[in-house]
Amino acid sequence: MTTLLNVEDLIKNFGGLTAVSDVNMHLNDDELVALIGPNGAGKTTLFNLLTGVIVPSSGSITFRGSDGLIPLNGMKAYKIANLGMARTFQNIRLFKELTVLDNVLIAMTANYRENFVQSVFRLPKFYKTEARIRQEAIELLKIFDMQDDLDQLAKNLPYGTQRRLEIVRGLATKPKILFLDEPAAGMNPEETADLTRLIQQVQHDFHITVLLIEHDMSLVMNLASRIYVLDHGSLLAEGTPKEIQNNDAVIKAYLGEEA
Amino acid sequence: MKANLKYNICWLILMVAGFYLMNALILVGVIDSFLENMVVTIGINIILAVGLNLVIGFAGQFSLGHAGFMAVGAYATSIMISKTPTAGVFYLSIIVGVIIAIIAALIVGIPTLRLRGDYLAIATMGAAEIIRIIINNMKMTNGPSGMFNIPQFATWPVVYIMVCVTTIIVVNFIHSRGGRAALAVREDEIAADSMGINVFKWKLAAFVIGAATAAVAGSMQASYVQTIAPNNFNIMESIAILIIVVLGGVGSITGSFVAATILGIVDAALQSFGALRMVIYALVLILIMIFKPSGIMGAKELSFKRLFNPKSRKAGAKS
Ligand SMILES: Nc1ncnc2c1ncn2[C@@H]1O[C@H](COP(=O)(O)OP(=O)(O)O)[C@@H](O)[C@H]1O
Ligand SMILES: [Mg+2]
């Protein structure tokens, strides 16, 4: 197992507030890791740093690319995405006025080419490419049982389905790492169980690395192989679910917060 | 594949039928030179509005500088065909206008498209004004008095074909990889960015295509009306194009066609009203915006696919 993403001494300040403080972490190939912590712990901020949406105040993020290590600090989000990192958003950010199919096709933009002349004059090559990527998109949607919603506008989907579409959209970019920010937020227990199973299945079938944010600790216990616990911007603990369960600092933070 | 062919043939039939209808109406004398002038003006406005709609309605970038790119095409054509009045040079001049407009759009777009909303509107407006002032101060363009007796190569069939060609290019771009990327940018820049889409590149692509079509419209205008002056391309012209886009529906190409036609007819019908004309014109605009704030068509499109399969698509029609 080799390290795919390595984070060293990562800090993010918002004015006087340190949202992420000296975080060190790493992600290996083909594993499902959870990032937990109470609300406001800095989990989403950490995601934003890793995916290039915001720039770190200091520290380093390194990605193992096909030809060597690539520093990600300050790199544009779309370039980071094209290296193989995809994400979902805690407060859903679908392309609302567009169809389910278009949402997925858009995420595939970097993975195929269409030249301007072929598209504009509708040459046979254009239809061929369109048919191929459309098929690819439908295959992905099938996994999440959304193949019948192709022409629905994203904004008209039920809440839980919108969250699933965000995951499909992330997968459509062909990521090496998929970052999921509270994918089960707002779902009922049944939907949550269903989604959890799907996330596990997708991670396993696509051999990708998944970093899953969740603030419900019990949910990730039998899902993740490793867990990072974030509290007030700093890493409180890391380890296997068992180690985390028995970690005094974690128990204290969680009981302190939620009791 | 078969289905696509069917829809494309429908569009082709529609275009050819429109052409022969127009031709017949002129032959039997229903369309006189006054009405022909109206139709050509509508056609030029359609080219302008479709291009601006791509930028505003589809890529979501609020540009107020469309008239500047129109001026580039108009002057390229005027200068070239005044020197060498042949059809070949006329068509060459359209291409030259388009190329210069693309270069100008890159120069304007690269620094300004990083701005948002109102700032972008003001910056593009300023850029168009700079283009106008440059033309105003050049010898080659005959300065503020403009150019006269420009040879007429842009007859109605030429304008008709240009309307078809520019619309096909814009619509087909919208329904392709690049167009979808531009739509994503309009919908949510952060999400698009995170999905690996080079937001800036696709904004610029839409902006450049819009500018290129505006140059074509300018070439048509110059060689149809046969006289141009820098003041034809001031901010009021950009706003007039914007009005067509908003009135028809931001994000509806069909809407731009409908609005350009309605406004063209209203404008022609009011020719004899003198000063009252602008008041009535403004009133029509206000009424439409009160009763249909999203524009005549909203974001809807005429689509053969939907006409043939009424149930297959609830929204987001593809033509
Ligand atoms: N753009 C921002 N500007 C200022 N403060 C921010 C910003 N984003 C997040 N924060 C603050 O950083 C802290 C961590 O937030 P967040 O990362 O959203 O936590 P979590 O996802 O763990 O609930 C919070 O106190 C939040 O208010
Ligand atoms: Mg969060």
Mean pLDDT for A135-156 is: 96
Distance from CA of B121 to the nearest CA of A (A): 23
Distance from CA of A1 to the nearest CA of B (A): 27
Q: Is B176 on the interface with A (CB under 8 A)?
A: yes
What's the structural domain count of chain A? 1
Residue A255: what pLDDT? 64
Q: Is residue A24 included in any domain, yes or no?
A: yes
Q: Give 3-state DSSP helix, strand, coil % of chain A, rounded to 5.
A: 40, 25, 30
Q: Yes or no: say if A172 and B191 are a contact pair by the CB < 8 Å rule.
A: no
Average confidence score pLDDT of chain B: 92
Answer with the residue of higher pLDDT: A142 or B277: A142
How many Å apart are CA B55 and CA B61, to the nearest integer?
A: 6
Count of CB contacts below 8 A, A vs B?
113
Q: Write the pLDDT tens digit of every residue in B25-47.
A: 999 999 899 999 999 999 999 99
Q: Is A206 on the interface with B (CB under 8 A)?
A: no
Residue A1: what pLDDT? 63
Q: Is residue A122 included in any domain, yes or no?
A: no
Q: How far is CA A214 from CA A23, A39, A206, A221, in A?
A: 18, 10, 21, 11
> Residue A188 corresponds to which amino acid?
N
How is chain B split into domains, by residue range?
32-313
Mean pLDDT for A2-12 is: 96
Q: Yes or no: say if A30 and A46 are a contact pair by the CB < 8 Å rule.
A: no
Of A10, A17, A55, A211, the one to substitute when testing ligand 1's pocket (max ligand atoms within 8 A of C-beta) is: A17
Q: B43: exposed, middle or buried (C-beta count within 10 Å: 0-12, 13-18, 19+)?
A: buried
Mean pLDDT for A236-258 is: 82
User: Considering every ligand atom, which ligand is closest to the CA of A45?
Assistant: 1
Q: Write the pLDDT tens digit of every residue in A46-85.
A: 999 999 999 999 999 999 998 899 999 989 999 999 999 9
How many Å apart are CA B221 and CA B93, to the nearest integer?
A: 13
Distance from CA of B14 to the nearest CA of A (A): 17
pLDDT at A237 over 70: yes
- Which residues, other chains included, contact A73 with Cβ-Cβ below 8 Å and sequence gap of 6+? A55, A56, A59, A60, A61
Q: Is residue A146 included in any domain, yes or no?
A: no
Instruction: For residue B292, give both structure tokens.
Output: 């249909």
Distance of CA A230 from the midpoint of ligand 1 (Å): 13
User: What CATH number should be reported for the domain whose range is B32-313?
Assistant: 1.10.3470
Across the strands, what pairs with A63?
A: A5, A70
Most confident among A66-70, A134-138, A192-196 (mean pLDDT):
A134-138
Q: Yes or no: say if A150 and A58 are a contact pair by the CB < 8 Å rule.
A: no
How many Å apart are CA A208 and CA B245, to the nearest integer?
A: 45
pLDDT at B312 over 60: no
CATH of the domain at A7: 3.40.50.300
pLDDT at A125 over 90: yes
Residue A256: what pLDDT? 63
Q: Is residue A132 included in any domain, yes or no?
A: no
pLDDT at B277 over 80: no
pLDDT at A258 over 60: no
Q: Is residue A229 included in any domain, yes or no?
A: yes
Distance of CA A232 from the midpoint of ligand 1 (Å): 10
Mean pLDDT for B280-290 is: 82
Q: Is residue A134 included in any domain, yes or no?
A: no
pLDDT over 70 percentage in chain B: 97
A42 pocket-lining for ligand 1 (C-beta < 6 Å)? yes
The model's confidence at residue B315, banded by pLDDT at 50, 70 and 90, is: very low
pTM of the model: 0.93
Instruction: For residue B79, give both structure tokens.
Output: 């200068």
Q: Is residue A118 included in any domain, yes or no?
A: no
How many Å apart are CA B172 and CA B166, to the nearest integer?
A: 10
Residue B318: what pLDDT? 38
**Cβ contact B190–A169 (<8 Å):** no
Instruction: For residue A80, give both structure tokens.
Output: 């980071």
Q: How far is CA B254 from CA A97, B52, B271, in A?
A: 18, 13, 26
Residue B310: what pLDDT? 64
Distance of CA A90 from the midpoint of ligand 2 (Å): 6
pLDDT at A180 over 50: yes
Q: Is residue A149 included in any domain, yes or no?
A: no
- Which residues, other chains included, contact A66 with Cβ-Cβ below 8 Å and sequence gap of 6+? none
Which is nearest to A47 in space by CA: A29, A65, A69, A20?
A20
**Cβ contact A77–B193 (<8 Å):** yes
Q: Write the pLDDT tens digit of every residue in A96-122.
A: 999 999 999 999 999 999 999 999 999
A19 pocket-lining for ligand 1 (C-beta < 6 Å)? yes
Domain that holds residue A253: 3-97+159-258
Most confident among A253-257, B70-74, B273-277 (mean pLDDT):
B70-74
The model's confidence at residue B17, banded by pLDDT at 50, 70 and 90, is: very high
Mean pLDDT for A181-200 is: 91
